[in-house]
A and B are shown apart, each in its own frame.
Chain A
Amino acid sequence: ETGVTQTPRHLVMGMTNKKSLKCEQHLGHNAMYWYKQSAKKPLELMFVYSLEERVENNSVPSRFSPECPNSSHLFLHLHTLQPEDSALYLCASSQDLGIPEAFFGQGTRLTVV
């Protein structure tokens, strides 16, 4: 148990659906991250938030829309996804950007059909 909780654990959605992934941490961390892991590829950083402000967006398509309403919660809103977006989406948090040791959630396994 790392203190970072992601829901749902599994999600199957059609290409026309809209869904959201949720991440919650009560570790008192100020930085939160979304990562994507596609099959047999390294973890890819998608978004970084620090103190609820987005500080990095790694050329992620606009069909992925992050939201950080407060320092404990991070969402990833999904709409009109493609089958190639099927992957494991991991959320992580760290004390601050300058202290990058990350605590990860268990991930959401997303399948787009």
Chain B
Amino acid sequence: ILNVEQSPQSLHVQEGDSTNFTCSFPSSNFYALHWYRWETAKSPEALFVMTLNGDEKKKGRISATLNTKEGYSYLYIKGSQPEDSATYLCAFNGGFKTIFGAGTRLFVKA
């Protein structure tokens, strides 16, 4: 059974705080790791697709790192803003199917 675990389940931060959360995935048969941002009542939106061990990707204040050998990825948000409030999903692609984690629900208080 392949499991993708995300932690924490939810996170409350103040505006301006920097934060990070974790996605753990199987370290074998790795093809790609995806991060999505899902705001309430909207579609999940792709943030990053990461394929190489040691990859670091950045989009504005959000960045992500990847360690395929130990099976984890971190998502970082610098200087959180209320509009960053959303569920952040990671998805492991093993070449044959994509398995999603349950998400980290981020609440940013103004």
Contact = CB atoms under 8 A, between A and B. Distances in A.
Given A2-B43, A104-B43, A106-B43, A42 B101 contact: yes
Nearest to A9: B41
A4 B42 CA distance: 12
**B interface residue count range (under 10 / 10 to 19 / 20 to 34 / 35 or more):** 20 to 34
A103 B41 contact: no
B46 A101 contact: yes
Interface string A29-65: 0000000000011111100100000001000000000
B109 to A, nearest CB: 23
Main secondary structure of the interface of B (DSSP, over half): strand
A44 B91 CA distance: 11
B55 to A, nearest CB: 14
Contact of A100 (B32, B43, B89): B32
Interface residues of A, number: 19
B44 A101 contact: no
Given A42-B4, A43-B89, A102 B46 contact: yes
Interface of A: 2, 4, 40-45, 48, 56, 90, 100-107
Closest 10 pairs between A and B when the two form their complex, measured CB to CB:
A43-B100, A104-B43, A104-B44, A42-B102, A42-B100, A2-B43, A106-B43, A101-B49, A100-B93, A101-B46
Interface of B: 4, 31-32, 34, 36, 41-46, 49, 89, 91, 93, 97-103
